Structure 1
Amino acid sequence: MKSIIRFLTFGWLQARSCIFPAVIFITLAISKYVTIPFLSRYDFILLVCVLAQLLMILFKLETWDELKVICMFHVIGLMLELYKVHMGSWSYPGEGWSKIGGVPLYSGFMYASVASYICQSWRNMKLQIVGWPHPILTVGISLLIYMNFFTHHYLPDLRWVLMLLLLIVFIRTFVSFEVLGKKYRMPMVLSFFLIGFFIWIAENISTFLGAWRYPDQDQAWRIVHIGKISSWFLLVVISVIIVGQLKRVKSTDQEISDKDNS
């Protein structure tokens, strides 16, 4: 019975951590079937995302430091979107005042929602990471992953090499989380894959709701290629590393402050 309660609690904590992604899904669903007078769909989604972000700060669901990380990921995602749309990887066929280079500005919030989920999970489930690699390794591999998203259009795709490198760098890294006072832990690489898998599921829902469109979805919606899981796996790594570095810096600053006050 205790196991069932813990499992249900785990699901509830996960749902609480998905506030921002849930807002995006609900907005996508509403805007797909309801026309907003004098406002394009993309502009409406952008306004809702901005309002949701402001409310999360107002109600202290996110800190200002976490907001900085989320905004950083917003910019990272938007830059990637501009490039990928230019290369024809996917498209946003709708109209909107908030489109730049064929990309609606709300798209950056979809990437930022991943960082928001990680920040919320960190707090709600009291995440701790054991065996975090040296910053040179984590930052370096993040840069290589991000660059590969751009260069694979012209050079060989190194995603599998990068995955092997990730396994080596994070082989001794574990993430622990707490549910009703009991601690669990799993390999960090496994958590990367699980988050990437569920984002792939979310991507299928998003494309069904018309958030964006892949070339093979021009005539009719179809399931997103399963190979996209590897892309999300790598993108999650960047997000976790950015949030992880922030938490480590804040933790170090807190320890120094506590020593000074003692």
Structure 2
Amino acid sequence: MRQPTALERRIDAGAHRFLAEAPRDGARAVLVEVGVFLLKQAWACLFGAALLVVIVAARLWYPDDAALARNDFLTLAAVAIQVVMIATRLETGRELWVIVLFHLTGTAMELFKTDVGSWMYAADGVLRIGGVPLFSGFMYAAVGSYMVRVYRLFDLGFERYPRRWLTAIVAAAIYANFFTHHWWWDARWVLLLAVVLLWARTSLYARVWRAVLKIPLLLVFAGVALFIYLAENIATWAGAWAYPDQLDGWQPVSITKLVSWFLLMIISVVMVTFVYPPRPPTRVEKARAPRLARRA
């Protein structure tokens, strides 16, 4: 198992004591596994959820005439959240490096995308680079935080994971296409096909409590992309940024953005695999996953 933080070890020990007498079979056992799965997912989303709560709260209650611009307030709040995550050892120093990398790659994309008019931010505050407020990079960091935390919490194993150098090439091509498609041919559908071919045979093994889930990895990518898309709708409603078709009034983000988020997931996963190299599932995990499938 990948090493949890000190706080997570204490929580895990308490959970083991609480669930020691939990049933091993039947409907109650399934409910326990579902509950643990949802709690682990919520814990993995901690950074992103906290940031989204701050964004919504700023939309609802932050005064328009405050001396500190709302975007600057969001940046300072995001920094505070990150400091708390490190100070309380909810993230390790090793994981912080990958989150910083998410921040930098995301900010570079933001600078380009706002310059070409793909989306825009309110032009207020001083904590920004050009038209990009600094809190925007933390939204990408939130994705990175989720990815590295979910690796640890579910002790992920991968069956038939493709070679990392191949995944790095595809991820680099996806990142480049986010820029080049504005003046050259948009290769997203070719890249989407490359992703499907590369990861089509890969299965993910996730340890919940006693159960181990075996899920096609492409299905996991799609699920996380959908979750981010829903969060994006909340953030744009709260005024964190706006797409051109939302300037005259908020409307749901185009469903086509799901493809963009799906491809962004590939970049995210590849970066995280260089912190946590994909490991194959153990024999115990392989044995547990089919039994879960038969009970379901």
Q: What percent identity do the matched residue pairs reach?
A: 40
* Paired position in structure 2 for 1:78: 107
Residue 15 in 1 paired to residue 15 in 2?
no
* Alpha-carbon separation, structure 2, partners of 1:250 and 1:195: 21
Q: Distance in 2 between matches of 1:55 and 1:78?
A: 22
Supply the AA of the counterpart residue of 1:113. A
- TM-aligned CA deviation for residue 250 of structure 1: 11
Alpha-carbon separation, structure 1, partners of 2:57 and 2:215: 37
2:256 to 213, 224, 227: 227
1:50-94 Cα deviation digits (max 9, x unpaired)? 111111111111111100000001000000000000000000024
Quick check: 2:121–2:131 contact (8 Å CA) kept in 1? yes
Which residue of structure 2 lines up, in the alignment, with residue 5 of structure 1?
32
Counterpart amino acid of 1:5? Answer: V
1:182 to 2:230 alignment: no
Matched, 1:96 2:125: yes
Partner of 1:27: 54
Letter in 2 for 1:229: L
Distance 2:155 2:72 in 1: 36
1:192 and 2:224 equivalent? no
| CA 250–43 in structure 1, closer or farther in 2 if over 3 Å, else same | farther
Work out which of the residue numbers 141, 144, 153 in structure 2 matches 1:112.
Answer: 141
Other-structure match for 2:6: none
Amino acid at match of 1:181: R
Q: Distance in 2 between matches of 1:4 and 1:157?
A: 45
The match for 1:143 is 172
Query: How many angstroms apart in 1 are the aligned matches of 2:123 and 2:148?
Result: 31
Tell me the CA shift for residue 4 of structure 1: 2.1
Q: Which of 150, 153, 178 in structure 2 is aligned with 1:124?
A: 153
Find runs of 4+ consecutive structure 1 residues off by over 4 angstroms. Answer: none
Larger-gyration structure (1/2): 2
Deviation of the 1:203 alpha carbon: 0.4
After superposition, what is the alpha-carbon deviation per residue over 1:178-236, rounded to whole angstroms, capped at 9, x for unaligned?
11121111111111111111100110000000110000101110000000000000001
Query: How far apart are 1:34 and its partner, in Å?
Result: 2.4
TM-score, structure 1 normalization: 0.92
CA-based RMSD of the aligned residues comes to 1.6
